[in-house]
Structure 1
């Protein structure tokens, strides 16, 4: 990667490995070798097991709606295009409108990513920040099609009603979770975060990147 590319491209995906944090009870990443280079074998081939919610990922409607579409059936357009990164660092348990109002302008892009961590944790954070459902509603009213966050969920980890997920279900929004925005200044970028075409899955890992406009 050239110095110029390093200045204009931000990788906002956490590393995925056996110690990568997962929601309690979810399936962590594991890998085993099915074949290794040696006499009679010209390649390395591995098998991996993981929840599709490990690392940076896109939830499918199927995740929060029993009749919802699997991730392989969703439109890719919301995952690609101009976005705004908004800083709401240490905002508390919920991202309320007052935490992001400073960055809401008439030219708000259709994609909004909110940074809540000063530095993303390397272990599971049960006190993660989430979106207040009213904030999601107001963003949808402004034409936002995708919301993202640097925590593991847009709802509190203890929530059983998943109110913000229900808002994105009702308003047909898409969501990215577990992003790493530590090094990203607030502002507008091009987002590229395409999910895999998994025809029956409730989510998909993404390699999320931001590119300078």
Structure 2
């Protein structure tokens, strides 16, 4: 069956939080006389593009991404539309899709995902994540850079993730994804000690 790619392209001008490390690629070898291959080297923040936060990102003694179990990142998933919801996704934005909720929920807030940094993106209200956790959700996702507002210093939504041991995907591209149920595949890399990992997130229609 066809796959729906919900990952943005990672490139030098990809939007990142101010002060974060942008994507850069350099060539350490190029095809030519005496060299049989092209070889590149990368520098980037693990929070660029579609990515999975590790609990270490918001709790100092919590596991890094290489120690996080993978099962939450594969399986039945529901895409819920809350386009134009404003600063926060509230419970009322999701109630219409509550019946038989699968363990993974991705929320589309944008008509079109931002391609430049926009600090006014939509985030989750903490009580919404609490509500989802109480309904058996194990992974949440969003089509903006963070589940918390850009100016948050307390990261209340991330702390709800920590409290309920929820996994999270951020910076997804859900522009062309109808609301409904899918299979999610979005495995993080096994990056030793890292606070996050890029993912190639895809949906498979059921």
Match among 100, 103, 119 for residue 94 of structure 2: 100
Task: Please report the RMSD computed on the Cα atoms of aligned residues, expressed in angstroms.
Answer: 0.6
Q: Counterparts in 2 of 1:123-142, with a 5 A limit?
A: 123-142=116-135
| Separation in structure 1 between the aligned mates of residue 189 and residue 12 of structure 2, nearest angstrom | 21
- Establish whether residue 113 from structure 1 lines up as the match of residue 109 from structure 2: no
Match among 163, 171, 177 for residue 170 of structure 1: 163
Structure 1 segments unaligned to the other structure (5+ residues): none
Shift, 1:100, TM fit: 1.0
**Number of matched residues?**
206
Question: How high is the TM-score relative to the length of structure 2?
Answer: 0.99
Q: Match of 1:19?
A: 13
| SS across alignment from 1:175 | strand
| SS across alignment from 1:43 | coil
Q: Match of 1:58?
A: 52
| Separation in structure 2 between the aligned mates of residue 102 and residue 182 of structure 1, nearest angstrom | 20
| SS across alignment from 1:160 | coil
Q: Match of 2:81?
A: 87
| Separation in structure 2 between the aligned mates of residue 119 and residue 70 of structure 1, nearest angstrom | 31
| Separation in structure 2 between the aligned mates of residue 147 and residue 9 of structure 1, nearest angstrom | 20
Deviations 1:153-195 (A, max 9, x none): 0000000000000000000000000000000000000000000
- Establish whether residue 204 from structure 1 lines up as the match of residue 197 from structure 2: yes
Q: Counterparts in 2 of 1:42-81, with a 5 A limit?
A: 42-81=36-75
Runs of 4+ in 1 over 6 A off after TM superposition: none
Q: Match of 1:143?
A: 136
Match among 148, 151, 165 for residue 158 of structure 1: 151
Shift, 1:34, TM fit: 0.2
Deviations 1:45-94 (A, max 9, x none): 00000000000000000000000100000010000000000000010000
Question: How high is the TM-score relative to the length of structure 1?
Answer: 0.96
